Structure 1
Amino acid sequence: MKSSSTEPVARSGLELEDIGFAVLVVLISLAGAYLLTPYFGAVLWGVVAAIMFQPLTARLAERMGGRKNLATAIVLFGLIALLVVPTILLGISLVNEATALYGKIASGQIDFGRIFQQLLGALPSRLRGFLAEYDLTNFDSIRRQFGSSITSGLQTVAGRVLTVGQGALSFVAALGVMLYLSYFLLRDGERYGEMVRTSLPLRPETRDSLIENFLLVVRATMRGTVVVAVVQGFLGGVLFSALGIEGALIWGVMMGFFSLLPAVGTGIIWVPVAIYLFATGDTGKAAIVVFCGVFIIGMVDNVLRPILVGRDTRMPDFVVLIATLSGLELFGLNGFIIGPVIAALFIAVWNQHRDQRQAKVETAQGAPVPVQTEALAARAAEEAVAHPS
């Protein structure tokens, strides 16, 4: 008579069912990612907001006796008041100023021909001769290449006014998704983070290191990039407005945008403005622009960024530049976060790979590896419990 055994049969290697389930997990994950593409930006900013402010929400909830819902609502309303509403108002003001500036260009109040002739007349004769050799003193050709692009660019921005009503519904929906997602991630971020952490098919030490790098880079990017950009753009806009320079808000926003790029920075805006002021004989304003650009706007980056970012999360400037430009090209405005995060994770993954290979080499050469000793001791303890003498 055969006895039926209920003990599980030990299996070695992957079976067809395991491979099929792994393929199913990959396909469903890709389908889920594709499903989020219409609101990719909203989801991204919701996750970023949770990463930035979830620790603050947890501390506030602890001080309020564990009332997470109330603490989350306070933090969320604070984000709306301090970030969302000012951003919307800035966008409206930017479109209005661009519309007015385009109107002045179209009506001839801003004459690029006169500005060009003033700049050309202020140049040394030798430099004017050099420009003449390459036909760069012909304003008509310069206007076709440069002035028309400025006009069309302003016209595009101004044309956004006509499409605000058409895009208002999608914008409100995206904003609602972001705030709704932020609420739940701020309230239950630790639980969701633990679910993601334990679901990743990686070794614990590798997994924890990559997650730590991801969180550090996101927080460092937001603190050291967004804060610096806002401060530099604000200072530049105030400076240009105080000097009576046309389109101060537009120039301030552009300085904030270009501050995202290392090795380029806000100088790409204020240096040409200072040159123009020198060329037109307004040396006092030009000197003020140069002084403020170098010693105030420029020093913001040198002072604030190391404080906000720290040295542990700093990447080489050329990596940040390439990653930011590529991210902006591929993902639009969201790319200034996605690009540096991908670059940082790329570096972190290859550092992990290098460390693991180095550990294997040291093991092969007979070097003591404490982690393996602890693992062997733990295995011996498990066998002792399973087979007591």
Structure 2
Amino acid sequence: MDPTTPPRARGTTIARGVVVGALGVLGLWVVLPFLPALVWAVVVAIAADPLVKRTEARFPGRRGWIALGFTPAFAALVLAPIVAGIAQAAREAHDLAGWIATARASGLPPPAWLATLPAGSAEATAWWQANLADPVAAAALFHNFNHALWNAQARLIGVGLLHRTVIFAFTLLALFFLIRDRDGLVAQCRVAGDRLIGAAGERIARQAALSVRGTIDGLVLVGIGEGAAMILVYLVLGVPHPLLLGVATAIAAMIPFGAAVMFVIAALLLLAQGAAGAAIAVMAIGLTVVGIADHLVRPVLIGSATRLPFLWVLIGILGGVEAFGLLGLFVGPATMAVLVMLWREFVEGKPQPAASDDSSAA
């Protein structure tokens, strides 16, 4: 503060700063529960911006209608796999209930495929004999299982489900306004960034946007590709419910190494049918697909947009997931890309261009 400033003016400036700071903290406190929804909306809006611009080029002056059409389309894209999974689970619930009732009434003899396991066959058979073949032990096991399952479902169906529904609805609402008012919001952010951090603000925004899109290409699109490839594998090898399991594989594949969990589930389902060879084939083919995607395709897609070595991309993804959950898949790499860009500017003493000079990136 200028020492020549009159005391009354200094007092006014300090009071204004205190009031603004207090209002900022209060506003953040109010917004904090909805902050993940806002960030998700921003991520989706950034990813969809090229498609929105192309649509607007064909239908100029109809940004509001475009936003109104895109928002429910995105909602359907997210909700369709969830609804399909719930419907499939409901169909399977009857068979599962019958299987549990049979186990509790008369026990279940060890299946033949346990003897074909390449390792641990004796231990697995002994566990089955002790816990499932005997009706009393099976009844006790499933009583505990049902109790734990009920508690988990109660937590999911209760406040947690309601909270997620509200957050998702708010995400859709925010997404609509972000698409509809895109130009005005971008202009305001440019002015604010220029006043706060100068010319670097627009470079940071452009790099963050490009990183989000590159991460979506590298994680979401590659994950969908892995899921599509594995649907064919599941169909050929006779995995139960190949379409549903393929969709689950696509979702899991968006997280590095997450698809391997689905391969294990598919292999276990095949083992339950006595198809040990097919189970080994699922694991081998699945790990090959993941190896190609994670070590060849994803580094090119994500690294070219973020200008990061894949090690730092991986750190950004895994660290982001650890800190922010699924939202960290996109926030982590974008944050690392911006930090590395600023580091290079500091070391080299000159502004660093973003990964692309496309003016539409910001």
- Seq. identity, %: 24
* Paired amino acid for 2:110: R
How far 1:30 moved relative to its partner?
A: 3.4
3-state secondary structure, aligned to 1:114: coil
The 5 Å alignment of 1:119-198 reads: 119=114, 122-123=117-118, 139=127, 155=149, 159=153, 163=157, 173-198=166-191
In 2, the alpha carbon distance for the partners of 1:317 and 1:104 equals 49
Q: Which residue of 1 aligns with 2:259?
A: 266
* Paired amino acid for 1:336: L
Distance 1:161 1:352, change over 3 A: closer
In 2, the alpha carbon distance for the partners of 1:41 and 1:98 equals 34
In 2, the alpha carbon distance for the partners of 1:277 and 1:57 equals 44
In 2, the alpha carbon distance for the partners of 1:22 and 1:50 equals 33
In 2, the alpha carbon distance for the partners of 1:55 and 1:227 equals 16
Q: Which residue of 2 aligns with 1:365?
A: none
Distance 1:220 1:203, change over 3 A: same
In 2, the alpha carbon distance for the partners of 1:21 and 1:84 equals 45
Distance 1:78 1:239, change over 3 A: same
In 2, the alpha carbon distance for the partners of 1:153 and 1:212 equals 51
How far 1:24 moved relative to its partner?
A: 4.2
In 1, the alpha carbon distance for the partners of 2:227 and 2:98 equals 24
Q: Does the CA contact (< 8 Å) of 1:320 and 1:340 recur in 2?
A: no
Q: Does the CA contact (< 8 Å) of 2:217 and 2:301 recur in 1?
A: yes
Q: Does the CA contact (< 8 Å) of 2:308 and 2:337 recur in 1?
A: no
Residue deviations 1:93-137, cap 9 Å, x none? 36536745753663467999836x85566446xx88xx98xxx98
Distance 1:325 1:352, change over 3 A: closer
Partner of residue 50 from structure 2, selected from 39, 55, 61: 55
Q: Which residue of 2 aligns with 1:381?
A: none
**TM, length-normalised to structure 2:** 0.68
Partner of residue 293 from structure 1, selected from 286, 291, 301: 286
Distance 1:34 1:284, change over 3 A: same
Residue 216 (structure 2) pairs with residue 222 (structure 1): yes
In 1, the alpha carbon distance for the partners of 2:20 and 2:94 equals 53
In 1, the alpha carbon distance for the partners of 2:249 and 2:171 equals 27
* Paired amino acid for 1:194: A
* Paired amino acid for 2:47: M
In 1, the alpha carbon distance for the partners of 2:203 and 2:310 equals 23
Q: Does the CA contact (< 8 Å) of 1:95 and 1:158 recur in 2?
A: no
Partner of residue 341 from structure 1, selected from 310, 314, 331: 331
Distance 1:88 1:291, change over 3 A: closer
CA root-mean-square deviation: 4.8
How far 1:56 moved relative to its partner?
A: 2.7
Q: Does the CA contact (< 8 Å) of 1:255 and 1:269 recur in 2?
A: yes
Distance 1:170 1:79, change over 3 A: same
Q: Which residue of 1 aligns with 2:345?
A: 355
* Paired amino acid for 1:183: F
Residue deviations 1:175-203, cap 9 Å, x none? 43222221221121121122123223543
Distance 1:142 1:354, change over 3 A: farther
In 2, the alpha carbon distance for the partners of 1:59 and 1:156 equals 48
5+ residue gaps in structure 2?
A: 352-362
* Paired amino acid for 2:259: T
5+ residue gaps in structure 1?
A: 1-8, 360-368, 371-389
In 2, the alpha carbon distance for the partners of 1:328 and 1:121 equals 38
The 5 Å alignment of 1:193-342 reads: 193-200=186-193, 202-237=196-231, 239-240=233-234, 243-246=237-240, 248=242, 251-252=245-246, 254-262=248-256, 264-270=257-263, 273-274=266-267, 282=275, 284-286=277-279, 288-290=281-283, 292-294=285-287, 296=289, 299-301=292-294, 305=298, 308-309=301-302, 311-313=304-306, 315-331=308-324, 335-338=325-328, 340-342=330-332
Count how many residue pairs are aligned between Structure 1 and Structure 2: 335
Residue deviations 1:47-88, cap 9 Å, x none? 22221223332332233232322333333344344x144244
The 5 Å alignment of 1:85-100 reads: 85-93=79-87, 95-96=89-90, 99=93
